[in-house]
């Protein structure tokens, strides 16, 4: 197993915890590395999205629209409409990660700039979507933990999420990852004639030195 920081590969923080129950592949720092992780004995593969993943990414997103819980879109979006959004993700700064099971993309997490102003460069907004068939299996929590652990390597200090107040499952997910309520916007959205509140959740990231595995220690 390759240790972080060797062979010209960038060091990916926060992946030395857990036990050897499964394998995680992380791509996007100019190489691929394998890390032993523990996640309910699942075989996990996480990588930066490729162009041929976009159809699956959009399909997963569109599957969330009818529930009126996870997005403010009210009708399906097209693959073509997401080209610019997709091209705005770069592995070293604002990655778009996909996770695969059964040889197909079943979930994704995106980082995107917050508000588009230079003073907010160290802040990113997260979005997580999981295929309905694979929800409840810990994939969302896994991706979120990975985002928190690797945020400092992406030059980020703060992560934000915008979640509808009636989306209790997502609120619970972010609460478990130590996100806190930083703002509340009452009745800001209207979904099928019902006014909905929006919550702003935030998480201040730790210094990367607090959890980076050393080049000597390898992985556990």
Is 136 a residue whose pLDDT tops 90?
yes
* Mean local confidence (pLDDT), 106-119: 96
Higher pLDDT residue, 93 or 43? 93
3-state secondary structure 13-44: CCCCCCCCCEEEEEECCCCEEEEEECCCCCCC
Is 10 a residue whose pLDDT tops 50?
no
Please name every residue paired with 98 in a beta bridge, in sequence order, or none if there are none: 47, 108
Confidence grade of residue 30 (pLDDT, cut at 50, 70, 90): very low
What's residue 93's pLDDT? 94
* Mean local confidence (pLDDT), 31-40: 34
What's residue 45's pLDDT? 85
* Mean local confidence (pLDDT), 45-63: 96
Is 2 a residue whose pLDDT tops 80?
no
What's residue 206's pLDDT? 83
What's residue 35's pLDDT? 33
What's residue 208's pLDDT? 57
Is 23 a residue whose pLDDT tops 50?
no
Considering only 8-12, 56-60, 166-170, which range has the smallest mean pLDDT?
Answer: 8-12
- pLDDT digits over 147-197, tens only? 999 999 999 999 999 999 999 999 999 999 999 999 999 999 999 999 999
Terminal CA-CA length for the chain: 11
Distance (Å, whole) CA 61 – CA 55: 10
What's residue 14's pLDDT? 34
The region that residue 108 occupies, defined by phi over 0 for left and psi between -120 and 50 for alpha, beta otherwise, is beta
Q: Which two tokens stand for residue 79?
A: 């693959």
pLDDT averaged over the chain?
A: 80
What's residue 44's pLDDT? 65
């Amino acid at each position: 197993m390759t240790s972080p920081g060797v062979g010209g590969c960038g060091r990916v923080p926060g992946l030395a915890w857990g036990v050897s129950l499964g394998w995680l592949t992380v791509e996007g720092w100019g190489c691929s590395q394998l890390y032993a992780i523990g996640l309910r004995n699942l075989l996990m593969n996480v990588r930066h999205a490729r162009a041929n993943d976009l159809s699956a990414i959009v399909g997963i997103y569109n599957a969330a629209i009818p529930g009126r819980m996870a997005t403010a879109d009210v009708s399906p979006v097209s693959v073509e409409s997401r080209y610019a959004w997709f091209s705005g993700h770069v592995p070293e700064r604002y990655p778009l990660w996909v996770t695969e099971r059964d040889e197909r993309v079943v979930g994704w997490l995106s980082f995107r700039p917050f508000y588009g102003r230079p003073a907010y460069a160290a802040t990113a907004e997260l979005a997580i979507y999981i295929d309905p068939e694979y929800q409840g299996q810990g994939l969302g929590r896994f991706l979120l933990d990975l985002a928190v652990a690797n945020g400092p390597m992406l030059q980020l200090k703060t992560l934000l999420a915008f979640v509808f107040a009636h989306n209790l499952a997502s609120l619970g997910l972010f609460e478990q990852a130590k996100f806190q309520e930083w703002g509340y916007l009452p009745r800001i959205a209207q979904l099928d004639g019902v006014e909905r509140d929006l919550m702003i959740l935030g998480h201040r990231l730790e210094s990367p030195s607090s959890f980076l595995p050393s080049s000597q220690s390898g992985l556990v």
